[in-house]
């Protein structure tokens, strides 16, 4: 039996709103061990330009595959593992609950009785850690923003509610 393989290209956007491409034409990409691409480049202004550059480098038509392969290669270039594991013993990221199960207080790393000032301070810290322009993930940053908005809304509603005066027997 023969292994069929089509030359492939993976394209992903960069922090600077450009496109990084990585192409494999001498063999398919592999996870373990990570197989480096035959050619790669960053800085294309559009996805189409990136694919055109990759095809010019290859000298043949390329099939576009998932962008995770280009992101994995970008991590390798930074000296990180291509596909980080969730296993803390291996130095991977800490395991988090799925987003649907995490409360806004867990997202912001706050106690539920935090004040408005504490919420704002925690948001600034988390925003710096998760902002896409600083190496964070879009989805995580949006989750932090949503948690901040909800936490502020809850705190301002609680502060605006009048306290009920206990009725004293007359």
Please report, for the domain that includes residue 121, its CATH number: 1.10.287.110
Residue 101 three-state SS: helix
What pLDDT is attached to residue 117?
Answer: 92
List residues bridging with 133 in a β-sheet.
none
Which pLDDT score, from 0 to 100, does residue 87 have?
45
Res 101: pLDDT: 65
Can you give the pLDDT at residue 53?
A: 93
**97 and 70, same structural domain?**
no
Q: How far apart are CA 33 and CA 35, in angstroms?
A: 6
User: Residue 15's domain spans which residues?
Assistant: 8-77
Q: Is 141 or 159 the better-scoring residue by pLDDT? A: 141
Q: Based on the domain organization, do 50 and 23 belong to the same domain?
A: yes
Say which residue the tokens 């450009």 belong to: 18
Q: Per-residue pLDDT for 22 more than 90?
A: yes
- Give phi and psi for 19, each to the nearest 5: -125, 130
Q: How many domains does the chain have?
A: 2
**DSSP secondary structure code for residue 36 in this structure:** P
Question: Where does the pLDDT of residue 137 fall: very low under 50, low under 70, confident under 90, or very high at 90 and above?
Answer: confident
Q: Say what the pTM is.
A: 0.50
Q: Is there a single domain that holds both residue 60 and residue 113?
A: no
**pLDDT per position as a tens digit, 91-110:** 444 445 555 567 888 889 98
Express each pLDDT in 108-132 by its tens digit. Answer: 998 888 889 999 999 999 999 888 8
Inform me whether the pLDDT recorded for 153 exceeds 80: yes
73 and 13 inside one domain: yes
CA–CA gap between residue 19 and residue 119 (Å, rounded):
36
Residue 4 has pLDDT above 80, yes or no: no
Mean pLDDT of 77-86: 82
For 71, the enclosing helix (H) or strand (E) is helix 68-77
């Amino acid at each position: 039996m023969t292994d069929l393989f089509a030359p492939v290209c993976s394209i992903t956007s960069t922090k600077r709103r450009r496109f990084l491409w990585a192409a494999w034409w001498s063999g398919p990409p592999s996870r373990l061990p990570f197989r480096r691409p035959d050619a790669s480049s960053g800085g294309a202004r559009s996805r189409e330009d990136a694919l055109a550059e990759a095809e010019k480098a290859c000298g043949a038509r390329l099939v576009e595959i998932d962008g995770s392969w280009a992101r994995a290669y970008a991590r390798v270039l930074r000296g990180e593992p291509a596909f980080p594991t969730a296993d803390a013993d291996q130095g991977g990221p800490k395991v988090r609950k799925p987003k649907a199960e995490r409360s806004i207080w867990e997202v912001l790393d706050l106690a539920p009785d935090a004040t408005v000032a504490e919420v704002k301070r925690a948001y600034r810290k988390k925003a710096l850690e998760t902002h896409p322009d600083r190496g964070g993930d879009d989805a995580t940053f949006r989750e932090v923003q949503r948690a901040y908005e909800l936490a502020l809304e809850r705190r301002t509603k609680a502060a605006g509610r009048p306290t009920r005066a206990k009725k004293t027997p007359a």
